[in-house]
């Protein structure tokens, strides 16, 4: 069985668009009850699937369950991929066509994964759109693609992102025992909850001791690895002028050393209409109608 590099696969995404994007265009999505952005998509003009839009995802992947139902996709390659739980083997399929809204891509490499967001069949990330500026509007449930910043940008608060291997991080301030602590959080629309702290940060600030324990649970990564998590309540999260009080926050049990990054998930991200300029490492945030809604964990 032949193997192929993920790097080669990602290069295909940047060269695969079969039609030029207009100055602005939009893609509708639905926000599921599990905090997933679900987008109807068509593979090879045959298979209709619901793909989760995932800010921390580099390509297009299909869950194993959905892959078994696809009529037009042939899985004839394998490769090793990295996930939260460690290295795993993925099936691959070359030379596929994908349609999302009015956009179409050819010669795409598809990856298989064990899991996607609940009620979705797989996921795709912003790399499909190259250097386009993405406006994600949760009030209207659309993703709008721009060549330049929209005219409404003056109504948003501006933040500089840290870009680490195409993963995007925003700085936030949390409060633990009245102590204010700065940390960078990965923008992760595939994580349905609020906050997840990296192992080193959780150990350094004694989260298990200093935060009240709400519950313990198990988190599955894309390949079925089980990670035990503790869920607590955080006094405060501040991002620029935006404040969140009494936020559910999670961290892994013990210093397992796997979780290297703290995560800002969809239960926070969905509360903003946002404009993402990845090329310039900037994000613009504006409160939306969901800002004061109860947390998913609540």
Task: Give the Cα separation of 177 and 249 in Å (integer).
Answer: 15
Is 139 inside a domain boundary? no
Query: Is residue 194's pLDDT more than 50?
Result: yes
Indicate if 102 and 214 belong to the same structural domain.
no
Q: How far apart are CA 104 and CA 22, in angstroms?
A: 13
- Position 296 confidence tier, pLDDT thresholds 50, 70, 90: confident
Same domain (yes/no): 197, 129: no
| Domain assignment present for 294 | no
Residue 281 lies in domain: 152-287
Same domain membership, residue 158 and residue 108 = no
Q: Tokens 């291997």 — which residue? A: 165
| Range 62-80 average pLDDT | 89
CA distance 29 to 55: 14
Same domain, 243 and 125: no
Task: Give a yes or no: residue 62 inside a domain.
Answer: yes
* Average pLDDT of the residues of the chain: 86
d(CA 173, CA 240): 9
Which tokens belong to 162? 């840290």
Judge whether residue 7 has pLDDT over 50.
no
Does residue 195 share a domain with residue 123? no
* Same-domain pairing of 157 and 276: yes
141 in any annotated domain = no
In a domain, 295, yes or no: no
Task: Identify which has the larger pLDDT, 213 or 60.
Answer: 60
| Residue of higher predicted confidence among 43 and 227 | 43
Measured between alpha carbons, how far is 196 from 219 in angstroms, rounded to an integer? Answer: 11
Residue 115 shares a structural domain with residue 186: no
Residues 126 and 162 in one domain: no
The vertex-102 CA angle with 101 and 108, nearest 5°, equals 80
Kindly state whether residues 176 and 247 are assigned to the same domain.
yes
Over range 182-206, report the average pLDDT.
93
The confidence band for 70, taking pLDDT boundaries of 50, 70 and 90, is very high
pLDDT at position 242? 98
Predicted confidence at residue 31, as pLDDT, reads: 97
Residues 6 or more apart from 7 whose CB is under 8 A from it?
A: none
Task: Report the CATH number at residue 115.
Answer: 2.40.70.10
160 and 109, same domain (yes or no): no
Output the pLDDT for position 222.
Answer: 59
Report residue 80's pLDDT band, with 50, 70 and 90 as the boundaries. low
- Residue 62 is encoded by which pair of tokens? 């299909």
Pick the last residue of a domain from 133, 164, 195.
Answer: 133
**Residues 114 and 123: beta-carbon distance below 8 Å:** no
Distance CA 34, CA 31 (A): 8
Q: Do the domain assignments include residue 258? A: yes
CA 98 → CA 51, 101, 264, distances in Å?
11, 10, 29
Average confidence (pLDDT) over 216-235: 75
Instruction: Give how many domains the chain has, as a whole number.
Output: 2
121 and 156: one domain? no
41 three-class SS: strand
Strands 162-164 and 103-113: unpaired
Asked if residues 49 and 112 have their Cβ atoms less than 8 Å apart, the reply is: no
Inform me whether the pLDDT recorded for 118 exceeds 50.
Answer: yes
Whole-angstrom distance, CA of residue 61 vs CA of residue 51: 9
Q: Which residue has the higher pLDDT, 146 or 298?
A: 146
The last residue of one of the domains, among 133, 164, 190, is: 133
Is-above-0.95 flag for pTM? no
Of 133, 160, 179, which marks where a domain is finished?
133
> CA 266 to CA 185: how far, in whole Å?
12
Asked if the structure places residue 239 within a domain, the reply is yes
Does 59 lie in the same domain as 125? yes
Does 1 reside within a domain? no
The answer to whether the beta carbons of residues 85 and 226 sit under 8 Å apart is yes
Whether 50 and 121 have beta carbons less than 8 Å apart is answered as: yes
């Amino acid at each position: 069985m032949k193997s192929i590099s993920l790097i080669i696969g990602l290069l295909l995404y940047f060269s695969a668009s079969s039609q030029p994007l207009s100055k602005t265009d939009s893609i509708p999505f639905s926000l599921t009850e599990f905090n997933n952005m679900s987008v109807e998509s068509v593979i090879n003009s045959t298979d209709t699937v619901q793909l989760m839009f995932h800010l921390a995802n580099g390509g297009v992947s299909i869950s194993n369950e959905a892959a078994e139902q696809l009529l037009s996709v042939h899985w004839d390659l394998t490769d090793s991929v990295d996930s939260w739980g460690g290295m795993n083997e993925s099936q691959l399929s070359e030379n596929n066509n994908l349609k999302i809204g009015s956009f179409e891509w050819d010669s795409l490499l598809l990856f298989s994964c064990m899991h996607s967001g609940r009620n979705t069949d797989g996921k795709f990330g912003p790399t499909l759109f190259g250097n386009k500026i993405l406006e994600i509007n949760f009030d209207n449930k659309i993703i709008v693609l721009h060549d330049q910043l929209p005219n409404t940008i003056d109504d948003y608060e501006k933040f500089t992102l840290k870009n680490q291997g195409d993963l995007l991080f925003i700085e936030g301030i949390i409060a633990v025992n009245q102590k204010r602590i700065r940390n960078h959080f990965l923008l992760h629309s595939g994580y349905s909850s609020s906050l997840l702290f990296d192992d080193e940060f959780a150990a350094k600030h004694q989260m298990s001791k200093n935060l009240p324990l709400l519950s313990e649970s198990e988190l599955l990564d894309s390949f079925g690895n089980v990670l035990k998590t503790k869920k607590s309540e955080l006094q405060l999260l501040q991002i620029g002028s935006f404040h969140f009080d009494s936020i559910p926050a999670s961290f892994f049990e013990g210093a397992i050393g796997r979780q290297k990054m703290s995560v800002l998930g969809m239960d926070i991200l969905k509360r903003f209409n946002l404009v993402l300029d990845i090329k310039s490492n900037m994000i613009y945030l504006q409160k939306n109608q969901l800002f004061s809604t109860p947390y998913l964990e609540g």
